[in-house]
Homo-oligomer: A and B are copies of this chain.
């Protein structure tokens, strides 16, 4: 089977231009496309008047594409509803965090609880399923689009109360205790007193906020389950998914794992930005690794731009070769597709300047089209990779609930505590060293890994402490540090000393205080013969059973421990008490003998080059990517085969700027 290659396609924008639809097919074939995502914003066409369904336009398009070898990922249209619906049923309109119900407009702005909206969605999805269930063109269901915004209307408030009753066993006293509602006289005496967090209402209860965010994920999934019910019932063989996106802040995507047949992602990184492409690429890989780790199997890159986007502060063009490099990065990280938003630029409205394979000029004689066609060719040549796994012995814990809890903690630095940056800092060590990495939440199984980095693991959910003990006892290396082990799942601080949840014993230390530094402040830490800056946060910790590996140099906690290691069972638990920079993190991991598999076994490579591997039962595929703006040289340690040219490759090999080399090695 070959990789999926195509993109979002909006033929409803060209209903009156049949010649453009025909031209599209011609161009799709030229570009090597084999799949299009269709119908994402098609509700007005599918149901122009209430109850009058008409799928014929899309059917004709889908059939015509199929005749030309192009399959369809068919969307349910709930991402944007028709105007007539908003007018007739105002309850379906979203109420925002200020408690204001919105008017019709934009998209993605419905109430996810409204029974009417759920019914309308279920009905049209049923219509779609009945109409297309036997259509051989349909590859999968693309359910709605980029779920994300929550609604805070009274219907949602009531659903929230139901959610909380279940979570707290119908016991309001328990909720009051767990939320520490005795503080500021916040004790509820009736469930009806609980309202969603609103800018003009309750903004001070962290437990309310965290649980609201949990509910938002829960209710979105519940809405999604309502969407897929007719799809699964009527067309059980067509897989379902919904396209994830963004920066890992909003919905907890790990919670979708049982309800999607595969994960997929819409990726829009800041290529060519001042921070540099290697730094950007590492952040992108972290996200792909999250996406792959949701179901621990290949995912789809569902959207990406072949050129620029149109909604950032500065919408720079992708440079030549960057689209190929960045698209194949997704493949390297476990994607089985490269999909674009969008096939053809729309003529009007909000996204007309978003990059597309086909520009307003309408022909193929553009740089962007030519590169898209070149990629189409390369994807065909590497189809052996399709379906193969990414195997990882290292894991980073990125946990949404932990993120929410850190962000709504009053204390430390007020605005951004930089949890994601801290995760990325650790992640980058693995990425730069050719070590495949899973990115998981704290609820996943830890047993398959040799090393787990869990920076700023502020919230210790039930069972997590036990899993960490078990992991280390069995020989795992655990790396954590400042701001870890502060609160339980409801944001109650652990009593008896941090890190709580028994982690004091695992790390063999007691964390007495955390000092928050002004941006201009610096402490320093001596480690491994080098001096490193400590900034933002410095904890004052006291080793008990742990051994001290580094100490602070300055301020009143000079000579106190800054890095410790505790041996437990067959493993080791490291605690880094301060925020350090990339150089420190590199030195730290280099010095502790990480001991996991790495692509560095096969190839040595300079800075700005990343190497990731996929493998199937017989072969390992190496994706060697040069993010530098200059040509570099790598060293292939023993002969490997270039899967595109079939040439044998070994020794010193040149990699051009933005070049990607895909090699394979037979398994023994």
Contact = CB atoms under 8 A, between A and B. Distances in A.
Interface stretch (A259-267, A315-323, A445-453, A612-620): A315-323
A180 B519 CA distance: 48
A346 B203 contact: no
Interface stretch (A10-18, A214-222, A392-400, A561-569): A10-18
Contacts of A230: none
B311 A410 contact: yes
A246 interface: no
B493 A207 contact: no
Contact of A206 (B178, B200, B348): B348
B184 A80 contact: yes
Contacts of A12: 182
Nearest to A80: B185
B182 A15 contact: yes
Interface in A256-292: 273-274
A44 B187 contact: yes
A7 B89 CA distance: 55
A180 B349 contact: yes
Interface string A307-329: 11011111111011000000000
Contacts of A273: 518
B104 A202 contact: yes
A665 to B, nearest CB: 34
Contact of A495 (B96, B179, B362, B366): B362
- This chain: how many copies in the complex? 3
Contact of A410 (B192, B350, B495): B350
A181 interface: yes
Contacts of A16: 177
A414 interface: yes
B84 A189 contact: yes
A83 B193 contact: yes
A490 interface: yes
A518 B275 CA distance: 11
Given A180-B348, A307-B513, A350-B410, A185 B320 contact: no
Interface in A84-111: 84, 86-87, 96, 99-107
Interface in A146-200: 177-190, 192-193, 195, 198, 200
Given A105-B201, A202-B105, A495-B361, A411 B195 contact: no
Interface in A489-511: 490-498, 510
Contacts of A376: none
B204 A350 contact: yes
A444 interface: no
Interface residues of A, number: 116
A192 B312 contact: no
A556 interface: yes
Contacts of A496: 360-362
A497 B48 CA distance: 33
A345 interface: yes
Nearest to A205: B349
A206 to B, nearest CB: 6
Contacts of A359: 512-513
Contacts of A316: 515-518, 521
Interface in A514-557: 515-521, 540, 555-556
A351 interface: yes
A77 interface: yes
A55 interface: no
A412 interface: yes
A440 interface: no
Nearest to A188: B83
Interface string A385-415: 0000000000000000000000001111111
A343 to B, nearest CB: 14
Contacts of A351: 183, 410
B349 A185 contact: no
A203 B105 contact: yes
B13 A44 contact: no
A495 B347 contact: yes
Contact of A349 (B206, B317, B516, B519): B206
A107 B177 contact: no
Interface in A460-510: 490-498, 510
A365 to B, nearest CB: 9
Contacts of A103: 99, 195, 198, 200-202
Given A180-B348, A414-B311, A319 B206 contact: no
Nearest to A183: B349
A89 B314 CA distance: 47
A353 interface: yes
A193 B101 CA distance: 17
B184 A360 contact: no
A203 B193 CA distance: 34
A431 interface: no
A46 to B, nearest CB: 9
7 contacts: A103-B202, A107-B185, A180-B348, A180-B349, A274-B518, A361-B495, A361-B510
Given A107-B184, A180-B347, A316-B516, 6 more contacts: A10-B182, A104-B193, A184-B350, A204-B350, A314-B413, A360-B497
